[in-house]
Each structure stands twice: as C-alpha cells, then as structure tokens.
Amino acid sequence: MWGKIFGKFSRFGHDLGVDLGTKNTLVYVEKRGIVINEPSVVAVNSRTTEILEIGREAKKMVGKTPGHIQTVKPLVDGVISDFEVTEKMLKYFIKKVHSENFSFIPRPRVIIGIPLDITEVEKKAVEDAAKSAGARRVYLVEEVMAAAIGARLPVLDATANMVVDIGGGTTDIAVISLGGVVSYKSLRFAGNELDNNIIEYIREEFNLLIGDQMAEAIKIQIGSAIPFDEPREMEVRGRDLINGLPKAITLSDTEIRSALSRTVNKIVENIKLTLETTPPELVSDIYERGIFLTGGGALLYGLDKLISEATKTPVVVVDDPLTCMARGTGILFANEKILEKVIVLPNIA
C-alpha cells in the first residue's frame, strides 16, 4: 500500500519541505537545499485587503505602519491563527521557488511540519493551507521528528532520541524511539515569551516602553541562561511612559538573565517532567546519549549548560538549530522508508 501512496517520491526534483514557524518559514527543495528562509510576516492593506509585502520586506514594516497598513503574523503559538494570510504567504513562497526553476513541472508534493499536541482542526488547517497554496499532496510530519532527522539521530532505532525544539511560539519536548514519539510535552510558549519577559521587566523597572524587535535584539545580544564569562551591557531606547518622550537606558546581562529566568525555569521543569514520564529503559539511553536542543531558542547562551546541570544529563545544541527541521525534510525526501514510518495521518486522496 505504501509503495502506491508514495510512488517514486524522490523522482521529481521539485518536492518541497516546509517549516511553517511562528517566527520563520523555511522551504527546502530537494537537491537544492533551503531556498526560502524568511520571517512569517505579511503586510496587508486593510482598506483593500491587498497583500503588500511578505516575509523579510513585511517584517521591516512591523511597528512602523500607518493606519491602513497592517502587519500580520499569521501563526500564533505554533498554529495557524489567520488561515487566509497563511495560505497566501505559503502560496507566495511556493510560487517563488517554482517559478525560479520548475515552471514546467507539475505542482509539488509538500512535507510540512506540525507541532506536537495540536488539534485535528489545527492539523487540517495546515494541510488545507498547503493544498490551496499549490501542493499536489501534503505529508504532515511532527516538527520534533523532522528536527531529529535533520540532526541525523537514529529515530527508527530502539533507543531514546530526546529532542527539545524551542521556537518562537512553541517549545516541544519529545522522546522518540522506533519512529514514534514515546513521551512528550508541548508548551505554548518559547522565544516570544522571553521577549515579553524583557518588555515587562523594562516597563516595570524603568517605566520604559520598548518594541518586540528591540526586546528580541536585547535577548540575542545580552540574554543568557547562565552568567557570561565577561559581563555584557547594552544601551536600549524606548518611550518613557511618564512623559511620553524618548529615553535611553543601559541594561546589564544580570538584569536580563533574571527577567528571563522564570520562563527558562519553566522550560527546564517541563524537560524534567517529561523525563519522569519516560520509561526507565529510555531514560537510561538519554542519560548516555544526551538531550538535543533545536529551534532558535537553543541559541540562548548557556541554556544547554543549565539544562544539563538540572537533569544531570549531557545536552547538545544541534548544528544550525534554526534550519534543522527544514533540513530534516530534505533527508526524508531521500529516504522514503523513514518517511513512511514517521508520517502523521497520510493524506490518502
């Protein structure tokens, strides 16, 4: 049956792997690699509903738009919140890939990642969005699974592959063995929540209002889970909430670390809870093989060390954690056998 469903999956060179993220959308094309890597943002003219910009160009407009332009982030907490805009964004990216090289080839088949713990309705929305964006056939794969495959973990073996994917909107913690997820926790917060922690801290301590992009820049430059070797500082500008005027302050890494700690600790606690619900044989594999961190949040300085200390387990940040999942779809294209085993609800037309 599977042979029939999948056909010669890898014969055409134009099938696509999509990482439809809260923060970033990546498209992998077989034999070419990642060809799209753009923010999941769309600028819409709210008078005419016309799409003005998509991706990087739209992101430049965030927080700077006049009344009739709206920048929409169509995914919230890992799931589609604005179906129409998601569909248009995907259509734009798929078209871009297609028109560059493959205009004469039929519509592509698409592997697309979904978070753990999403509802059937949310799953269906991802599938429908990909279909109406031009996919001939859609294959859903759990994002943690694709990321594990991207990190070249032996997901089909009878051993534990523990993956923690910290994205913009979701943190997925999973233990994979024999091609399936054995135990997991899916949290609807991740990098965006860390940014919010910074915004709140600065508002409460300094009566200063800063934007999302500034908060993210602070997190990336001076944010950490453990102290740096050398202290870091950053000058931050925003609007004084008392007199409404621009104001600059200097922040230290210590302050930001403490602002982030509540969310960071919640992630650590949930990793521990997941270990507690994992069968002992697998826990012993994890103890030996380690926990693999992926997604952009894995880049928070010292998070690997902190998790390692809290769980007494080795922790590895995968190579290039922001593209790991998309690269995993590429490996799936080349390995039908793995694809058959890890697919979620194949779309049998």
Ligand X SMILES: Nc1ncnc2c1ncn2[C@@H]1O[C@H](COP(=O)(O)OP(=O)(O)OP(=O)(O)O)[C@@H](O)[C@H]1O
Nearer to ligand X, 156 or 264 (CB): 264
Q: Which of 16, 18, 23, 153 binds ligand X (CB under 6 A)?
A: 23
Among the listed ranges 27-35, 81-89, 185-193, 237-245, the one in contact with ligand X (CB under 6 A) is 185-193
Shortest Cβ distance from residue 328 to ligand X (Å)? 13
> How many C-beta atoms surround the C-beta of residue 299 within 10 A?
18
The interaxial angle of helices 253-276 and 191-206, nearest 10 deg, is: 140
- Residues 150 and 326 sit within 8 Å (Cβ to Cβ): yes
Shortest Cβ distance from residue 153 to Mg ion (Å)? 17
Q: Residues 238 to 257: which contact ligand X by CB under 6 A?
A: none
CB neighbour list of residue 347: distance below 8 Å, 6 or more residues apart: 127, 137, 138, 139, 140
Alpha carbon distance 283, 160 (integer Å): 7
Q: Residues 92 to 151: which contact Mg ion by CB under 5 A?
A: none
167 contributes a contact to ligand X by CB under 6 A: yes
CB neighbour list of residue 71: distance below 8 Å, 6 or more residues apart: 41, 42, 43, 44, 58, 59, 61, 62, 63, 65
23 binds, among ligand X, Mg ion, none (CB under 5 to 8 A by kind): ligand X
CB neighbour list of residue 23: distance below 8 Å, 6 or more residues apart: 39, 40, 167, 168, 169, 191, 192, 296
Q: Which of 167, 191, 297, 330 binds Mg ion (CB under 5 A)?
A: 167
300 contributes a contact to ligand X by CB under 6 A: yes
Nearer to ligand X, 238 or 295 (CB): 295
Q: What is the separation, in whole angstroms, between the first and last Cα of the chain?
A: 13
**What residue number has its CB nearest to Mg ion?**
167
Q: Which amino acid is at 154?
A: P
Q: Which of 6, 15, 21, 147 binds ligand X (CB under 6 A)?
A: 21
Nearer to ligand X, 91 or 219 (CB): 219
Among the listed ranges 28-36, 103-111, 120-128, 162-170, the one in contact with ligand X (CB under 6 A) is 162-170
Shortest Cβ distance from residue 319 to ligand X (Å)? 14
Q: What is 297-311 written as a DSSP string? A: GGGSBTHHHHHHHHH
Shortest Cβ distance from residue 294 to Mg ion (Å)? 8
CA 245 to each of CA 44, 55, 62, 240: distance values in angstroms, whole numbers, following the listed order: 30, 31, 21, 5
Nearer to Mg ion, 21 or 290 (CB): 21
- Render the burial of 44-55: b for 16+ CB within 10 Å, e for the rest: beeeeeebbbbb
Q: Which of 78, 108, 134, 330 binds ligand X (CB under 6 A)?
A: 78
CB neighbour list of residue 101: distance below 8 Å, 6 or more residues apart: 14, 32
Nearer to ligand X, 122 or 240 (CB): 122
21 contributes a contact to Mg ion by CB under 5 A: yes
Among the listed ranges 20-28, 202-210, 262-270, 312-320, the one in contact with ligand X (CB under 6 A) is 20-28
Site residues, Mg ion (CB under 5 A): 21, 167
Site residues, ligand X (CB under 6 A): 21-24, 78, 167-170, 190-192, 216, 219-220, 295-297, 299-300, 322
